[in-house]
Amino acid sequence: MRCLRCKNEDTRFFYNDQGIWYCRKCIAFGRVNVGDCVQPAILSKTKWRGDIKLQYPLTPHQKMCSELVIQYLKQGKSVFLYAATGAGKTEVSMGSIAYYLHQGKKVCFAISRRQVVLEIRDRLQEAFEDLDVIAVTQGYTEITDGDIIVCTTHQLYRYPQSFDLLILDEVDAFPYANDPLLKEIAKNSCKGEILLLSATPDLESLKAIQEKRMEMVNLFERPHKHPLIVPKIVHLPKIFQVVYILIFCLEMKKKEKQVLVFVPKKQDTYWLSSLFQLFIPCAGIHSSSEDKDSILDAFRKKKLYVLFSTTLLERGITIPSVQVLVYEAEHSVFTTASLIQIFGRIGRSFQDPTGIGVCLCQSTSPSINECISQIQAMNDTVYCATKE
C-alpha cells in the first residue's frame, strides 16, 4: 500500500474505513484513499506579455545570476540559488518567473512563514503590476488561483501536479526544513522545475547537486558590494554578557545607532527588557507577543534603541544601521542557519553597509564556528570572483 500524495508506505499510518483504506499520515491536508490519484488543481493560464518593474535595476552580478538560473531551468534542471542574506534573491528570481509566465506557464512562490508570504506578495505585485498576484495562507484562503500564487508551504497540498515552476524560499527555515511530509507535498505540487532559495544549503540539496540532479548558482555579492559582516566571538559568563550588552548599547545610543539583541528564550526578553528600561528605551518581542506590530513599528521609528528578540526576527526584518548581539549564542536554538540569518540583518542598506555583530557565549558551539566559516567562504568567493 502506498499513499500517492505523501508517498507513505508505512502500514501503521493506513486505516480502514468501511473497506476503504486511507492514509493518516497526511490526513491534515484532507483524506486520500489508497490508490487514488490526487487530481491536478484546475488553474487559470494566460500568456503574459508584460515586463518586470523594478525599483532599482539588477546589479551586473545579480543579472548574471538571474540569467544563469534561467538557462538551467530552460534545460529542465532544478536550481539551488545559494544567496547571501541581503543579496536580493527575490529580485533575482523574478526573471525566472517572467520567463515561465511569458510562455503561459504556471508559477508558485512558496515560503515557510505566513508574514513573509504577505510581504513577498506585495513585492511581486509591485514588480508584476499588471498581473494578479495572490497570497494563499491562513486568513487568505478564499481565493486560491491567480496569475502568480504566493503561499505557505502548508498550502501546497491544494495544488497537486500544478506548477511548471515552483520557487521554494527559505528551505532552511522551520517548519519546512525538518518536515519530510511538507517536502513531499511540495514535490508533488510541481510538474516542472523547482528553484530553491536559501542562505544555507542543506545536506539533501548538496547531495542532489553533487549527483548532478540539481544545479547551484551562487549569489553572494550584496548590491552595495560590501562584504557580509563576520561576527566576533566574545567568551564571558552569563552575568558579564549582560554587562557587555548594556555597555555596548549605551555606546551605540551615543552614535544614534540601534541594537537588536537575540536571546534564546521568551522569558529572557522579559527580564532583560525590564532591567534595561532603567537605562535606555527598549522592549522585548517573541512569537506570542500580542503587540508585535506596534513594537516593531516603534523600533523602526527609532523610539526604541534596543530590541530583545527570540529567533522570531531572524528573518525578513530589515532595519537600516542595526547592530546585532546574540546572548547565550551557544544555545541549541541558534543553529548555523539561524545565526547566518541573524547576522545577515547587519549592513543591509546602501547608506550604512557595515556594522558590528557579536556572539556572546561561555564556549563556542559547532554552530557558531560553522556560521563564521560559511560567512567567510561567501565573502572569499566574491573577492576571488572580482579578482579574476
**Does 23 contact Zn ion by CB under 5 A?**
yes
Per CB under 5 A, which region of 5-13, 54-62, 330-338, 360-368 contacts Zn ion? 5-13
**Does 58 contact Zn ion by CB under 5 A?**
no
**Does 8 contact Zn ion by CB under 5 A?**
yes
**Does 182 contact Zn ion by CB under 5 A?**
no
Distance CA 177, CA 169 (A): 11
Q: How far is the CB of 164 from Zn ion (least distance, A)?
A: 24
**Does 272 contact Zn ion by CB under 5 A?**
no
Q: What single letter denotes the amino acid at residue 93? A: S
Burial of 331 (0-12, 13-18, 19+ CB in 10 A): middle
Q: How far is the CB of 156 from Zn ion (least distance, A)?
A: 14
Grid cell digits, residue 178: 525538518
Q: How far is the CB of 14 from Zn ion (least distance, A)?
A: 9
Q: How far is the CB of 5 from Zn ion (least distance, A)?
A: 5
Q: With CB under 5 A, what is the number of residues at the site for Zn ion?
A: 7
Q: How far is the CB of 162 from Zn ion (least distance, A)?
A: 18
Nearer to Zn ion, 29 or 72 (CB): 29
**Does 321 contact Zn ion by CB under 5 A?**
no
CA 366 → CA 21, 207, 377, distances in Å?
46, 21, 16
Query: Which is nearest to 148 in space by CA: 139, 162, 338?
Result: 162
Whether 229 and 92 have beta carbons less than 8 Å apart is answered as no
Distance CA 102, CA 369 (A): 44
Selected from 26, 83, 134, 148, the binder of Zn ion by CB under 5 A is 26
Per CB under 5 A, which region of 15-23, 58-66, 110-118, 262-270 contacts Zn ion? 15-23
Complete DSSP assignment for 55-91? SSPPPHHHHHHHHHHHHHHHTT-EEEEEE-TTS-HHH
**Does 188 contact Zn ion by CB under 5 A?**
no
Residue 279: count of CB within 10 angstroms of its CB: 13
Nearer to Zn ion, 21 or 271 (CB): 21
Q: How far is the CB of 29 from Zn ion (least distance, A)?
A: 8
Residue with cell 532603567: 278
Complete DSSP assignment for 200-250? S--HHHHHHHHTTSEEEEEE---TT-PPPPPPEEEE--HHHHHHHHHHHHH
Nearer to Zn ion, 3 or 149 (CB): 3
List the beta strands (DSSP E) in the chain: 14-17, 20-23, 78-83, 107-111, 133-136, 148-152, 163-169, 190-198, 214-219, 232-235, 258-262, 282-285, 306-309, 322-326, 357-361
Nearer to Zn ion, 23 or 199 (CB): 23
Residue 99: count of CB within 10 angstroms of its CB: 17
Q: How far is the CB of 1 from Zn ion (least distance, A)?
A: 10
Per CB under 5 A, which region of 7-15, 63-71, 83-91, 379-387 contacts Zn ion? 7-15
Q: How far is the CB of 147 from Zn ion (least distance, A)?
A: 30
Selected from 1, 2, 6, 257, the binder of Zn ion by CB under 5 A is 6
3-state secondary structure of 312: helix
Selected from 22, 25, 82, 149, the binder of Zn ion by CB under 5 A is 25
Per CB under 5 A, which region of 18-26, 155-163, 308-316, 361-369 contacts Zn ion? 18-26
- Residues lying near Zn ion in the complex (CB under 5 A) are found at 3, 5-6, 8, 23, 25-26
